[in-house]
Amino acid sequence: MVELFPECDAVLRNALDRRYTAAVGRVERHGRVLFERAYGRTRADEFARPIAIDTRFDLASLTKLFVATIALDAVARGHFALDTALVATIPEWSELPHRAITMRNLLAHTSGMQSGAHYRSLRDRAVEEFALTTELQGAVGEGVLYSDLGFIALGIAIARREGRSLQALLEGFVARSGFGYRPRARQWGAMPATECDSWRGRVQGAVHDEKAYLCGGVAGHAGLFGSAADAAWVGEQYLAPLHGRGSVLEPGLAREAVREQAFDPTLRRALGWALKTRDDNSCGPGFSRDSFGHTGFTGTCIWVDPQRDLTAVLLSNTVYFGRDDSTDLRRAFFTGVTKALDRLS
C-alpha cells in the first residue's frame, strides 16, 4: 500500500518528531482501504510506546461529526425537526435571544453563539450553564460563527430529549470497539500524549480540550477518542448514500448534511461538516468543490470527496509540540492522496 502513496508516506515520515510524535494516515476509496500506516510513538520521552494503526487518538473537534450524526438520526426518528426552535428542550433559552435557535443553526454554526471561552474563566462556573446562557455574539441565522458552545448545547439537547447521557447515546449508536469518551486509566499509556500545560502537566489519555475536560470529559464539541478507522467510519456514513451503499443515516438526511447550509469565504458550512471553499483549505487543491471535511485542534483531520468516492484521514498529535497551525502539513498529506489516485486512474 505504501508504494502506491509515496507522497503521503514521505510527508508523514518527514514530519515525525518535528511536528508530532505519532500519526496514522488512512485512505479509503469505494469503501475499501487503499492505504493505512502508523508512524512514531506516543510521546517523546522515556515513557514512549510505539503506536499502531488502531491506536486511539484524542479526536478533538472530530467529535462534532459523531454528535451531528446522532442528532440527524434523532431527526430521522422524529425526535427533533431541523428547523424547529429548540427552546422546548432547552427552556433556559425562553427569555433569551437564543430562543430562536434551531438544530440546523447549531449544526451549521449559524446560531450566533460565541466560539468558546478560556478555561480560566470557567473553572468556577458550570461549563454547560455558561454555554447555554452566555450572551450571543451575533444574531441567530445571520452568519457563520464556528462555535464549540453551540455543539455543547446540541449535546445537551440530545441527551435531554433522549433521556440518556451523551456518552451512552453516542457509544451505543457507534458501537465500535475502543471508541468513546473517557478512556480507562489502564489505556492511557497507549494513547498519543498531547500538550504539556501549566494546569495539568503532560496530557495523555484525558481530553486535551479544557472545556470538555471541565465537563467531565464528555461534551458535544470534543472528548472522543478513536482510531483512523473510526474517523473514516463517520465519513462513510455520509459518502455511502451518494454511491448506493448502506449507512446508519436516512439517505435523504445524509445528502442534506453535506449540502451548503451557510456561506463563509474560508469554509462553507454544511450540517456538522465544513465544505471545501478554496484550494488553500487543508484538503488541498486536488479535492473537488463538493468535498466535505473537518479538523481537530490536537492534529486530526478528515476529508471526503464524493466525486472520487474517497475518504482520507490523518490523525496526529501536533499539539504535543505547541499550538502552531498545521494546515500546511494536512494539505501536503491530502495533496499526496489525490496525486496518488490520479496516477492510479
Provide DSSP, 279-291: TTSTT-TTS-TT-
pLDDT on residue 5: 96
pLDDT, position 76:
98
Looking at residue 122, its pLDDT comes to 63
- Is 253 among the domain residues? yes
pLDDT at position 199: 85
Domain boundary among 111, 136, 169: 169
Instruction: Report yes or no on 26 lying in a domain.
Output: yes
State the Cα–Cα distance between residues 323 and 298, nearest whole angstrom: 9
- In a domain? residue 274: yes
Same domain, 97 and 223: no
Here the CATH number for the domain that contains residue 205 is 3.40.710.10
Q: Are residues 248 and 139 in the same domain?
A: no
pLDDT of residue 124: 52
Do 96 and 163 reside in the same domain of the chain? yes
Q: What is the mean pLDDT of each run of 10 residues along the chain (345 residues)?
A: 89 98 98 97 98 98 98 98 98 98 98 82 74 95 96 98 97 95 97 93 96 95 98 98 97 98 97 98 98 98 98 98 96 98 91
SS3 332: helix
Co-location of 24 and 93 in the same domain? no
pLDDT at residue 201 in the model: 95
Domain boundary among 136, 169, 202: 169
Q: Are residues 335 and 204 located together in one domain of the fold?
A: yes
Q: Are residues 47 and 196 in the same domain?
A: yes
For the chain, how many helices (H) and strands (E)? 10, 12
Query: What pLDDT shows up at residue 58?
Result: 98
* Dist CA 111 CA 146 (whole Å): 9
Same-domain pairing of 54 and 143:
no
Q: Is residue 251 part of a domain?
A: yes
Instruction: Say yes or no: 160 and 282 in one domain.
Output: no
Domain membership of residue 186 (yes or no) is no
Its pTM surpasses 0.95: yes
Beta strands in 51-164 (DSSP E): 57-58
Per-residue confidence (pLDDT) for residue 250, from 0 to 100: 97
Its domain, for residue 224, covers 2-63+192-344
pLDDT tens by residue, 5-27: 999 999 999 999 999 999 999 99
Residue 41: name the closest of 186, 208, 193 by CA: 193
Per the CB < 8 A criterion, the answer to whether 39 and 13 are in contact is yes
Q: Are residues 9 and 92 in the same domain?
A: no
107 within 8 A of 272, measured Cβ to Cβ? yes
Number of domains in the chain: 2
Q: What is the pLDDT of residue 198?
A: 83
One domain for residues 158 and 224: no
Residue 187 located in a structural domain: no
The reply to whether 44 and 98 lie within a common domain is no
Q: 198 and 329, same structural domain?
A: yes
10 alpha carbon, distance to own chain's centre? 25
> At which residue does the C-alpha cell 427552556 appear?
91
* pLDDT at residue number 345: 81
177 within a domain of the structure (yes/no): no
Question: Does residue 214 form part of some domain?
Answer: yes
CA 92 distance to own-chain centroid: 27
DSSP 170-218: HHHHH--TT-EES--GGGGGGSPP--EETTTEE--SS-S-HHHHHTTT-
